[in-house]
Amino acid sequence: MDISKIGAIDAVVNIWTEESLSYRPDWRHTFYGPKMKVAADNSSAVSLERMIEKMDEAGIRKGFLVSTKCGSLGPASTYHLPPRLVAEAVQKYPDRFYGLAGIDPTEGMAGVRDFENSVKELGFIAAHVYPHWFELAPDHARYYPFYAKCVELDVPIIIHVGQSMIYAPDMPRRSVARPITLDGVACDFPELKIVGSHIGVPWTEEMIAMAWKHPNVYIASDAHAPKYWNPALIHYINTFGQDKVIFGTDFPVLDFKKTMDQIRNLNFRESVLPKFLRENAERVFKLKV
């Protein structure tokens, strides 16, 4: 099968324009390059137009852009990307991008109202959160008002699960988001669609267990190169989990084309690839097709 014709949807993409980088802290220079091995042409600013060219080269039709909210642990780590950056990108290229509204659980009801505005007024299709940045596990009470609002608005939430990938002496980053912490949340909010991103590394089998147990829990395959995936994940996508895993890159962490090329080498069943690369995202995020 020529997977470039499927029209893949990338569920986690970082907006990487010159303006968006002005909000990100300086540590990105040592994290994305030396540690994550991001290619030089992706570690510097990437315009929306160049991003679309890269998506086209890879056979990726649409991408979900994150209006990232990180921090609350000090000035070295705290930054919020203005939602308008993502909203403007979506408005400029509505056939290529959707918006994900970053949430900060420490903002309380003010944050809930901002999130609601992002959905109702800016057209964002889901919430997105990095629990490690707040050192609050996904089952902490501070997230619950946001979960309730997601249910009310009928939008999913993407939650980074697995280990924290960033470390610096002045930035404590305990790995607070093991996939098992989604268990209670899924029980308390059975109507909430939960997407565990970063495949739960190094607890990938634990993430699979959560997706198997709960009808409302899904997995996003972003941030870890397919050639290094746990064989259990490949088997899950290929068999009883073919409706539960959603493609993603976390660009620029993973390059669009390299990721798609590696997926070609994993020998997935042809009937599974359209689900994994496009259809599961369309269903879970209720996209108009």
Distance separating alpha carbons of residues 7 and 260, to the nearest angstrom: 12
* Rg of the chain, C-alpha, whole Å: 17
| Beta-strand runs (E) in 185-224 | 194-197, 217-220
The answer, yes or no, to whether residue 187 has pLDDT greater than 90, is yes
Distance separating alpha carbons of residues 98 and 231, to the nearest angstrom: 31
Distance separating alpha carbons of residues 43 and 61, to the nearest angstrom: 22
Asked if the structure places residue 44 within a domain, the reply is yes
Asked if the structure places residue 57 within a domain, the reply is yes
Asked if the structure places residue 289 within a domain, the reply is no
The CA-to-CA distance between both ends of the chain, in Å, stands at 22
Mean pLDDT across the chain, nearest whole number?
92
Any idea what the CATH number is for the domain that residue 111 is in? 3.20.20.140
Count the domains in the chain: 1
b vs e for 141-161, b when ≥16 Cβ sit within 10 Å of the residue's Cβ? eebebbbebbeebebbbbbbb
Which residues on neighbouring strands pair with residue 64, listed in sequence order?
98
Beta strands 60-67; 97-102: pairing state: parallel
* pLDDT, tens only, 174-185: 789 999 999 999
Interhelix angle 108-120/144-153, rounded to 10 degrees, is 20
* pLDDT, tens only, 147-157: 999 999 999 99
Task: Give the structural domain span for 232.
Answer: 3-284
Is the Cβ–Cβ distance between 159 and 118 less than 8 Å?
no
Asked if the structure places residue 181 within a domain, the reply is yes
* pLDDT, tens only, 77-103: 678 999 999 999 999 999 999 999 999
Asked if the structure places residue 41 within a domain, the reply is yes
The answer, yes or no, to whether residue 42 has pLDDT greater than 70, is no
pLDDT for 169 equals 54
Q: In this structure, how many other beta carbons lie within 10 angstroms of the beta carbon of residue 240?
A: 11
* pLDDT, tens only, 250-282: 999 999 999 999 999 999 999 999 999 999 999
Q: What is the mean pLDDT of residues 39-65?
A: 91
pLDDT for 78 equals 75
pLDDT for 101 equals 98
Contacts of 136 (CB under 8 A, 6+ apart): 105, 106, 142, 143, 176
pLDDT for 27 equals 57
Distance separating alpha carbons of residues 51 and 147, to the nearest angstrom: 31
- The token duo for 283 is 């269903």
pLDDT for 174 equals 79
Q: Is 175 left (phi over 0), alpha (psi -120 to 50) or beta?
A: beta
